[in-house]
Structure 1
Amino acid sequence: MKKIRILHIIKSLGRGGAEMLLPETLKLHDKEKFEFHYIYFLSWKDQMVEAIKEAGGKVTCFEAKDNIRLLTQYKKIIGYCKEHKIDLIHCHLPWAGFAGRLVHWRTNIPVIYSEHNMQERYHPVTKILNKYSFNSQSMAIGVSEDVTLSISKNISPDIPVKTVLNGVNTDAFIKSGSLRTKQELGIPADALVIGNVAVFRFQKRLIEWLRVFKTISDRNSNVYGLIIGAGPLEDEIKKEWKSLGLENKVFFPGLKTDVKPYFEVMDVFMMSSSFEGLPIALLEAMSMECAIVSTNAGGIKEVVRNKIDGLVCETNELGKLEVLVQKMIKNPDSLTKFKRAARDRVRAKFSLNIMVKELEELYSNQAKLEH
């Protein structure tokens, strides 16, 4: 049987949510039916490259230092598609999407576009380009109902738009009980750890996260923090970290390809985001039995049902995060209950197996339409 050749196009292969999904879904895809290729553009953001190759993907970088240069690479993408007889293109995030639409316009190769964010949160130029080019592709995917509704509200597309919820590999993200990370960081074995995994951007509100943690820490001496990631606001965030006197209480391990050792030691995964699509780190944390305390930004409210799977508050009430965490600290049975509930929730509704099955059905249908 002839394999269906899929080309994923994405701006970078660094450690972002959309990027992390590519090797994880590839591990579960039916390699007898599909062949997977990947093109990215920011050569210095390549943390996922080896993981994709190890899972059987073919990776190529058409280097582009900015968004305009990225778009000019579309002729190279067309050449790649002809050389490798690509049957379908799957683009992720706007600028890769714009490049994919140019290829679709010139070649008529089916293009699926995955939207990971809310339209309202994009730069005005990105919003305009997205709106007026959106129908120049075969179909679109929203990673949460909120994202799909945002597309409908802001773009009103003529092409089909389907929600395919992000997922996590619950067989891979499972707690083993290792305390090695605590030992390496010098955190006491019996300490309660509050963590987050995030790109250091404004939307994650990590400065406010630190302030909330400070209040919690002042009332609970055996509480420690972990923030895994990096990004443009790192200097500002670490300045606040020092100003709050948290150098020996909150640790910044940096950008990590493998975050499981850090989820291993987290008791509470606390998110302070002002907006989200459907964050992969949240699903990973839940699969690793971290109790969830979060704002209800974007797709988070589709995952975490308040007082059932975790505790949530409004995005404009960040101070309430401290109150919600304190409830768990004061009631160990409640903390244990929410840890188990988090994993049960993702296993039932946000398994990567479900996501992969839905994607493969879309790939097969679009490839049939081509012929």
Structure 2
Amino acid sequence: MQKNPQTEKPIRIAQIIGKAVISGVDSVVMNYYRHIDKSRVQFDFFMDGYNKTPLDEEILDLGGRIIKLTPYEKSMYKNMSECRAAFEKNRYTIVHSHLNTLSVFPLYAAYRAGVPVRIAHNHSTTSRGEFKRNLMKQVLRPFSKIFATHYAACADYPARWLFGTKTVRQGKVRLIKNAVDTSRFYPDTKAGSRIRKEFGLENRFIVGHVGRFVFPKNHEFIVRVFAEVYKKNQNAALILVGTGELETDVRCLVKELGIEQAVIFTGLRRDIPDFLNAFDVFFLPSRYEGLPVVGMEAQAVGLPCLMSDAVPPDTAVTPLVEFFPLTAAVGDWADKLLTYKNREKRTYPDLLRKSGFEIKQEAEKLCCWYEDLQKGAAN
């Protein structure tokens, strides 16, 4: 359904993303926003926290609006009240919440504000080791569908985990895949060489990871495995791209293991395609995942990937992905990583596209879905 931009305003969707951390959920939403037809659909971003984020300028340049909220951990009541006030003021017909089990709160505010279409979108699951967080998820899980009118998830397992197998089998959960921009993520030898030169890693075997320093990403394990790799191959280097609450702890562990000379912390970077092109292997031994968008990006550039068996199998849309038991010994993981030295890089663009991970075609599908929901709400 095409709109005439001269006669009709685009549909405004309230996107509830929580904290803008330039990874995970917010990067997925931004990827769709960059490619969706903004003459037909526009996004307004509801973010926790009042500080400026690296996304603010781009959102405004693309015609979006930003609503900053009191972080829910400071005051859930204020957060919900501010949501409801914004929903009523802007008269949204669609609210799309990406807060997983926490979506019950903004969707309740949307319900109170009379928003007719309320989408609960799940991007995550649980794993051992996060008792308080998992307890909260399990407590909120039964309420996931109460105030939602529609359900979405990034993959089959997260869909079943939050909304139930019966709901999935009934076709009530829409899969919105963590698609990637293959015009940005593609094989680029020059870009990879630039990164290697920037960090003095020419002719080194580079193990790479991109992700926030948080519990699910398992950085401590990454470092311990790499320490074993380095014992066996002094030409190896580890690049960790990202920031996060556990970064200080990981830096201390690197120092404790005496491998500072072989580990590079890059901080927050925007040139992720260049880093992926510089790596010899992408290492993702996560404790749990919804569906890692960076895993799709790594495959798009043709990078071999070693992931834990806690990462959903849906992630492997090309032969580039290999899963390994999270319970395996550190030494076994190290030996497995070393098999990637001089491994061939190869792209599979047709597999990415056919599997629904090419952003342009997926953004058009999402645009059409929003238009159908808007039409249904008006009837």
Question: TM-score w.r.t. structure 2 length?
Answer: 0.86
Moved more, 352-361 or 287-296: 352-361
1:74, distance to aligned residue in structure 2 (A)? 2.9
Structure 2 Cα separation of the partners of residues 75 and 231 of structure 1: 29
The answer on whether the counterparts of 2:309 and 2:325 sit within 8 Å (CA) in structure 1 is yes
What residue in structure 2 maps to residue 180 of structure 1? Answer: 194
Distance 1:166 1:305, change over 3 A: closer
SS in 2 for 1:72: helix
- In the TM superposition, what is the alpha-carbon distance from 1:77 to its structure 2 partner? 2.7
Shift of 1:342: 6.1
Q: Which of the residues 190, 200, 203 maps onto 2:213? A: 200
Partner-residue secondary structure (3-state), 1:9: strand
Give the Cα separation in 2 of the matches to 1:13 and 1:143: 18
Q: Is 1:274–2:305 an aligned residue pair?
A: no
Alpha carbons of structure 1 residues 112 and 295: separation in structure 2 relative to 1, 3 Å: same
Aligned-pair distance for 1:280? Answer: 1.3
Contact 2:352 2:358 in 1 (8 A): yes
**Which AA in structure 1 matches 2:275?**
Y
1:256 is paired with a residue of what secondary structure?
coil
* CA displacement at 1:363 relative to structure 2: 1.2
Aligned residue pairs, count: 361
In structure 1, which of residues 77, 100, 108 is the aligned counterpart of residue 83 of structure 2?
A: 77
Within-5 A mapping of 1:207-222: 207-222=220-235
Q: Which residue of 2 aligns with 1:123?
A: 134
Gaps of 5+ in 1: none
Q: 1:140 deviation in Å?
A: 1.3
Distance in structure 2 (CA, Å) of the matches to 1:201 and 1:322: 22
Specify the alignment match of 1:54 in structure 2: 61
Q: Which SS does the other structure have where 1:90 is aligned?
A: strand
Maintained 8 Å contact 1:143/1:164: yes
* CA–CA distance in structure 2, aligned partners of residues 105 and 159 of structure 1: 27
Structure 1 vs Structure 2 CA RMSD: 2.6
| Secondary structure at the counterpart of residue 36 of structure 1 | strand
In structure 2, do the counterparts of structure 1 residues 97 and 168 end up closer, same or farther at CA, with 3 Å as the change threshold?
farther
> Aligned equivalents of 1:171 and 1:6: distance in 2?
26
Separation in structure 1 between the aligned mates of residue 73 and residue 112 of structure 2, nearest angstrom: 19
Q: Do 1:9 and 1:100's aligned partners in 2 also have CA atoms closer than 8 Å?
A: no
TM-score, normalised to structure 1, is: 0.88
Q: Structure 2: how far apart are the matches of 1:200 and 1:92? A: 20
Distance 2:247 2:276 in 1: 21
Extract unaligned runs of 5+ from structure 2: 1-7
1:171 aligned to 158, 183, 200, which one?
Answer: 183
Q: Secondary structure at the match of 2:339?
A: helix
In structure 2, the CA distance between the partners of 1:145 and 1:6, relative to structure 1 (3 Å rule), is same
Q: What residue is the counterpart of 1:149 in the other structure?
A: 160
Tell me the distance in 2 between the aligned counterparts of 1:133 and 1:96. Answer: 7
* 1:74–1:102 Cα contact (<8 Å) kept: yes
- Which residue of structure 2 aligns with residue 231 of structure 1? 244
Q: Is the 8 A contact 1:7 1:88 kept in 2?
A: yes
Q: For 1:39-83, what per-residue CA distance to the aligned partner results, in whole angstroms no more than 9, with x for missing partners?
A: 112234723222322333221212x14436244233333332333
Q: Is the 8 A contact 1:226 1:252 kept in 2?
A: yes
Asked whether the equivalents of residues 288 and 311 of structure 2 are also in contact (C-alpha less than 8 Å), the reply is yes
Q: Which amino acid aligns with 2:90?
A: H
> What CA deviation, in whole Å up to 9, does each residue of 1:314-356 have, x standing for no partner?
2222534323222222xx3xx11xx314666434422122432
Say which of 257, 261, 264 aligns to 2:274.
Answer: 261
The change in CA–CA distance for 1:119 and 1:271 in structure 2 (over 3 A counts) is: closer
Question: For residue 137 of structure 2, what is the amino acid of its counterpart?
Answer: T
The alignment partner of 1:7 has SS state of: strand
For 1:108, the aligned partner's letter is V
Contact 2:10 2:39 in 1 (8 A): yes
Is 2:324 the counterpart of 1:313? yes
- The 10-residue stretch of structure 1 (257-266 or 207-216) with the greater mean CA deviation from structure 2: 257-266
**Cross-structure match for 1:324:** 336
Return the alpha-carbon distance in structure 2 between the equivalents of residues 368 and 192 of structure 1.
54
Superposition map of 1:104-143 within 5 A:
104-118=111-125, 122-143=133-154
* 1:42 lines up with 2:54 in the alignment: no
Identity among equivalent positions (%) equals: 20
Task: Please tell me whether the aligned partners of residues 200 and 206 of structure 1 are also in contact (alpha carbons under 8 angstroms).
Answer: yes
